[in-house]
Structure 1
Amino acid sequence: MKINLKELLTVTFTLFAIIDIIGSIPVLISLKSKLGAIREGRATLISGSLMVLFLLIGEPFLNILGLDVRSFAVGGSIVIFILGLEMVLGLEFFKSDKDVKASTVVPIAFPLIAGSGTLTTIISLKANYTQTTVFIAILLNLVIVYVVLKSLSLIEHILGPAGLIAVRKFFGVILLAIAVKIFAANAHGLLK
């Protein structure tokens, strides 16, 4: 099977922008300080599994549950909104019992890495590109995700405490805006 390099780059960069692992660094550092550690391999594996699963059976699975893509996106946007509020206000809504395993799944693997935006984008990309192209793009993005997760301590060291606070507040507002945008784009027509 021949892969179109231009299409692969388009899909890879689209997913990279939607996953926004770079923009999630302040949230991840905040969660890491709250939890004490993040299981990078596990978070990458779980988020990757969710993305591949959605690539293969996403829309039919949501249909079985009686959900549509818009409802799923709205639910994910609410979780992202709460994470943004945590960052901006310095409050803790996601009460952590310091269980790194549980926190690796929620909120790290879902919705931060493989969020509703990412999963709905995968369904959309599948409509325009081959499944193989989307699958390879997912794998390339997972490599980037893993490298960023492994580098959190270094990034935290480079930014320092004051830099972390400033970046956390800034990206908290960005997360709030992203959540509102996802909500607004998908909420119309859900309430009748």
Structure 2
Amino acid sequence: MFDWKEIFTISMILFAVIDIVGSIPIIVDLRSKVGHIQSEKATLVAAIIMIAFLFVGEEILKLIGIDANSFAVAGSFVLFFLALEMILGIRLYKEDNPTTASIVPIAFPLIAGAGTMTTLLSLRAEYEKINIIVAILINIVLVYGVLKASGKIEKLLGANGLGIIRKIFGVILLAISVKLFAANVKGLFI
């Protein structure tokens, strides 16, 4: 069933997890290192990865014998640590320096990374698939817009503005991780 409230909630969760605004400094740095970033290709591949994982991810869980509650609790931990990174300005997960900026590292892992995948499967436990797909598409449009306008956004907000936005979405993501944990941890003991 199509539910705009669910779509809005899922969109906000994915927006916080993908953190494309917080990734502007990384995108700007990549552009300076490798030149042109293929925004269209990166967003299209990220959308395909996320939608495919939404459907195939549950089958993978069944195959290895993990229930949705366990995965959602594990996902809440991943979201918790992502939120801490955003709020405290630290990096718990470090990546190798990329040499190109087409599909890797923009589409994967920057947009459709481990946090996004975990979030999608966790959301699958609570929300309708159609609403998640619509929220993914809304976020992909936003990601595309940010990729295209990253230079202008950086000049407009400045380093302090980007830092504030990152921290705000970090706090939102932290609250979401706590809610996700609370909603699913009971299911582990039944």
Native 8 Å contact 2:21 2:162 kept in 1 = yes
Residue pairs, 1:10-25, within 5 angstroms:
13=8, 15-20=10-15, 24-25=19-20
Question: Is 1:161 the counterpart of 2:159 in the alignment?
Answer: yes
Native 8 Å contact 1:22 1:148 kept in 2 = no
Query: What is the root-mean-square deviation of aligned Cα atoms in Å?
Result: 3.7
Native 8 Å contact 1:84 1:173 kept in 2 = yes
In structure 2, do the counterparts of structure 1 residues 182 and 25 end up closer, same or farther at CA, with 3 Å as the change threshold? same
Residue pairs, 1:111-122, within 5 angstroms:
111=114, 114-122=116-124
Deviation readout 1:38-86 (Å, 9 max, x if unpaired) = 7644553343223332454443332112122222223333222222222
Question: Is 1:78 the counterpart of 2:81 in the alignment?
Answer: no
TM-score, normalised to structure 1's length? 0.68
Partners of 2:133 and 2:172 lie apart in 1 by 28
Native 8 Å contact 2:16 2:169 kept in 1 = no
Q: Secondary structure at the match of 1:7?
A: coil
| TM-aligned CA deviation for residue 109 of structure 1 | 0.8
TM-score, normalised to structure 2's length? 0.68
In structure 2, do the counterparts of structure 1 residues 166 and 40 end up closer, same or farther at CA, with 3 Å as the change threshold? same
Unpaired runs of 5+ residues, structure 1, are 1-5
Native 8 Å contact 2:10 2:132 kept in 1 = no
Partners of 1:156 and 1:27 lie apart in 2 by 10
Native 8 Å contact 2:54 2:124 kept in 1 = yes
Partner of residue 48, structure 1: 47
Matched residue type, 2:168: F
Matched residue type, 1:156: E
Matched residue type, 2:74: G
Question: Is 1:125 the counterpart of 2:128 in the alignment?
Answer: yes
Aligned counterpart in structure 2 of residue 109 of structure 1, from 112, 116, 122: 112
In structure 2, do the counterparts of structure 1 residues 83 and 134 end up closer, same or farther at CA, with 3 Å as the change threshold? closer
Q: Alignment identity in percent? A: 39
Partner of residue 182, structure 2: 184
| TM-aligned CA deviation for residue 92 of structure 1 | 1.9
